[in-house]
Structure 1
């Protein structure tokens, strides 16, 4: 698997798709559909059905250089299992002990200023501002005052309009789940998923 500069990839592509579903086959189809539509960073949450199997199968299809990661990583054991399956980066919902430094770059979850500081000091590649919907774009702006150089990725309740606003206020990327995936993880239309991907890719491309 090709080593991934997660922060550089986030800055370049500005969109992280987040999958968490009950059907492994539908999840794999969604990953491949998003990749074909141009979404270059995709996170498969470990809380989804057979998530490690989905990561393993997706890696085999997409090759060693694709930006495929694992989400809801909570322990070093999770981190090892995810990287063994083919995850090139790890995403946590909080500052999970032992995950940073476990062998792959980490997008670490934080909400408060204390958590943001701790995640950055621990060596996170970027900060997943979660749940971003609690404070919205104005809260991101407030956090950037004391942390101007910190790379933030808002996640949680981010639709296309909010994605553009977060990026305008200094986020390096946004993470998007259900507003992008819709019913795709339950076997919904691949065409509709491609259309939503196109909408989000256009939203994050806006200066």
Structure 2
């Protein structure tokens, strides 16, 4: 499943970022997230065994969720992501060669940007979804300002310091979606704990929508 399919199925635009997840717990955590309502799952490539975790998750929930890789900073990592069964690539930066290669592999891309120059470079390379990272540095007011100059079809995701407590202000400022890491999953959290945090996050998102 790709990002658009997950959204079309009714999933909120929330990416669960599972940094440092262990391969042996990946399938259970992914199942817990999907059952709670989150269907966009990212495993950063600076985790212990990212390809193994992505493969386990894709096999377990790939028909119900989009499973991708984050911190993809080279074409080799994009290739490893696609080979593991991932369907979308998240990067902390805008590397035109990596973006091009990822799209050639059929991956959705969500590159990270901080400046208008980076945003328009990514758009020129074919990206529709952009990750403002780190989102907490410039805050929701920055999203509101930059949305005024970006093409209307471009979707900005706020990542870094965004969670249940403050997502409403980012949503009101024009953020299309969010990525949530440490406040949703930390090493040692079991599936039940992650599911409870996911439900809390979705409840906050729905309240903000209302």
Instruction: State the TM-score, normalizing by the size of structure 1.
Output: 0.89
SS at match of 1:180: coil
**1:127 matches 2:130:** yes
Tell me the CA shift for residue 121 of structure 1: 1.1
For 1:83 and 1:130, the matched residues in 2 are separated by 23
Match for residue 37 of structure 1?
36
Aligned residue pairs, count: 203
**1:155 matches 2:159:** yes
Tell me the CA shift for residue 27 of structure 1: 4.1
Equivalent residues in 2 for 1:91-110, closer than 5 Å = 91-100=90-99, 101-103=103-105, 104-110=107-113
**Conserved in 2, the CA contact under 8 Å of 1:7 and 1:125?**
no
For 2:200 and 2:148, the matched residues in 1 are separated by 30
Match for residue 141 of structure 1?
144
For 1:138 and 1:117, the matched residues in 2 are separated by 19
Instruction: Give the 3 Å change call, closer, same or farther, for CA 3–22 of structure 1 in structure 2.
Output: closer
Instruction: Pick from 157, 161, 168 the counterpart of residue 172 of structure 2.
Output: 168
Deviations 1:114-139 (A, max 9, x none): 11111111111310000011011111
Instruction: Give the 3 Å change call, closer, same or farther, for CA 73–121 of structure 1 in structure 2.
Output: same
For 1:126 and 1:107, the matched residues in 2 are separated by 5
Tell me the CA shift for residue 65 of structure 1: 5.0
Match for residue 114 of structure 1?
117
- Unmatched tracts of structure 1, length 5 or more: none
Deviations 1:105-164 (A, max 9, x none): 100100011111111111113100000110111111111122252310010011213212
- Unmatched tracts of structure 2, length 5 or more: none
Tell me the CA shift for residue 7 of structure 1: 9.5
Equivalent residues in 2 for 1:1-207, closer than 5 Å = 2=1, 4-5=3-4, 13-21=12-20, 23-100=22-99, 101-103=103-105, 104-147=107-150, 149=152, 150-181=154-185, 183=186, 185-186=187-188, 188-205=189-206, 206-207=208-209
